[in-house]
C-alpha cells in the first residue's frame, strides 16, 4: 500500500509536522531520505527544511525542499532568512519554490553567518527583519491574492536579543499583522512555559496558532552548549535524566522520545492539538514519539 492510501486519522485529533535539516554528505542524504520515507505515512500537516548561511548550504536546502515536493506526497515548507541577501535574491528563491509547487515558507530573520550570538547586520539591500520578510512574501505575486502560507518563529522563553515581554509580544503581533499564518515556538521542556507564553500572546492580540516546537535531540551535551544562545533553558530534572549516559546513545534516545511524548501529552491534556517536531533527521525518534502520542497511520493502529 502506498503512503497516499493510508488515510491519516489520528483518533485523538492531533496534527503533527516535522523539521529536517539539509544533508551535508551522501551518507546524511541517505539518512534524510530514509527519515522522509518512514515519516511520510504519518501524514504530517507539513515538513520543513532549515536554511543556513553559506551558498552551498542554501543550495542543499532548495534541492531538498524541491525534491520532497516532486518525489513524495508531503507538503514541504522552505525556511527562508534575511541573511546576506538582497530582497530580490530572497524573493527569487521564493519564486523558485512557487514554481516547484512549494507553497509554504517559514520566514525568519536568521542568525548572522558567524553563528548564533553574533550581532545581526541587515544586508544593505535586504529585508531588515522577519516582519519585513513576511510582508515581502505576502506582497509577492499580488495577482494571486494570497501567495504563500507563511509560518514564523516565536520564543516562549524570550529570544536572547529580546527587549522584554511587551516588545516580544508586540513584535510577534507585528509578524501576524504582516501576514503570518502560524507561529512555531523555539523548543522548551516545561508545559507551563508554553501556556504562560500563550496567555501573554493572546492578551497581546496574537490570534494565529502558536504551535509548540518539540526538540528530539538525544545529544544532551550538544544541547547544553547551545541553549543559552537560542532562547531556551534546560530544567535541572532533564540534566538528572541524562546524567551518566554520555557513552550510551541508545538509552539517551529512549529517554528523549519519552520526554518529548510526555511533554506533548501534558500539552494535549490542556487542549493543544498541533505539534512541530525538530527531528534532526532521526526517523526512529520522531516515529516513536508520534506512536507514544497515538499519532500513527491508520493501518498501523489496525494491525
Binding site for ligand FAD (CB under 6 A): 50-51, 79, 81, 106, 108-111, 129-130, 153, 155, 159, 161-163, 167-168, 171, 184, 186, 213, 230
Q: Which is nearer to ligand FAD, 215 or 290 (CB)?
A: 215
Q: Which is nearer to ligand FAD, 153 or 256 (CB)?
A: 153
Catalytically annotated residue among 19, 40, 132, 157? 19
Residue 215 and residue 232: Cα distance in Å, rounded? 11
What does 238-302 look like in DSSP terms, one character per residue? HHHHHTT-TT-HHHHHHHHHHHHHHHHHHHHHTT--EEEEE-TT-HHHHHHHHHHHT---HHHHH
Q: Which is nearer to ligand FAD, 40 or 132 (CB)?
A: 132
- E-assigned strand segments in 164-240: 182-185, 210-211, 213-215
Element (H, E) at 60: helix 55-71
CA 95 to chain centre: 21
Is residue 89 part of the annotated active site? The answer reads no
CB of 129 to ligand FAD, least distance (A): 5
Q: Which is nearer to ligand FAD, 10 or 58 (CB)?
A: 58
CB of 50 to ligand FAD, least distance (A): 3
CB of 107 to ligand FAD, least distance (A): 7
Q: Are 53 and 41 in contact (CB under 8 A)?
A: no
CB of 197 to ligand FAD, least distance (A): 12
**Active site positions, annotated:** 19
Amino acid at each position: 500500500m502506498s503512503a497516499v492510501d493510508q488515510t491519516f486519522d489520528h483518533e485523538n485529533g492531533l496534527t503533527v509536522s516535522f523539521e529536517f535539516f539539509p544533508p551535508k554528505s551522501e551518507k546524511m542524504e541517505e539518512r534524510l531520505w530514509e527519515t522522509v520515507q518512514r515519516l511520510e505515512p504519518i501524514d504530517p500537516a507539513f515538513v520543513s527544511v532549515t536554511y543556513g548561511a553559506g551558498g552551498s548550504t542554501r543550495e542543499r536546502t532548495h534541492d531538498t525542499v524541491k525534491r520532497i515536493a516532486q518525489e513524495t506526497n508531503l507538503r514541504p515548507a522552505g525556511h527562508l532568512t534575511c541573511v546576506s541577501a538582497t530582497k530580490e535574491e530572497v524573493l527569487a528563491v521564493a519564486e523558485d519554490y512557487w514554481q516547484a509547487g512549494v507553497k509554504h515558507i517559514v520566514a525568519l530573520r536568521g542568525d548572522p553567518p558567524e553563528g548564533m550570538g553574533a550581532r545581526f547586520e541587515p544586508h544593505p539591500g535586504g529585508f531588515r527583519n522577519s516582519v519585513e520578510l513576511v510582508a515581502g512574501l505576502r506582497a509577492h505575486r499580488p495577482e494571486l491574492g494570497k501567495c504563500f502560507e507563511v509560518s514564523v518563529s516565536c520564543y516562549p522563553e524570550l529570544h536572547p536579543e529580546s527587549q522584554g515581554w511587551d516588545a516580544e509580544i508586540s513584535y510577534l503581533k507585528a509578524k501576524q499583522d504582516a501576514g503570518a499564518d502560524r507561529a512555531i515556538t523555539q523548543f522548551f521542556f516545561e508545559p507551563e512555559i508554553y501556556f504562560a507564553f500563550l496567555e501573554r500572546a493572546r492578551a497581546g492580540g496574537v490570534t494565529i496558532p502558536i504551535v509548540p516546537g518539540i526538540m528530539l535531540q538525544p545529544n544532551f551535551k550538544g544541547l547544553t552548549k547551545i541553549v543559552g544562545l537560542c532562547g531556551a533553558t534546560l530544567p535541572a530534572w532533564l540534566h538528572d535524566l541524562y546524567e551518566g549516559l554520555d557513552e550510551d546513545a541508545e538509552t539517551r534516545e529512549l529517554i528523549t522520545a519519552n520526554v518529548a511524548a510526555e511533554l506533548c501529552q501534558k500539552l494535549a491534556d490542556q487542549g493543544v492539538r498541533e505539534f512541530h517536531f525538530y527531528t534532526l533527521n532521526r526517523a526512529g525518534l520522531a516515529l516513536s514519539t508520534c506512536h507514544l502520542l497515538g499519532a500513527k497511520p491508520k493501518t498501523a493502529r489496525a494491525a
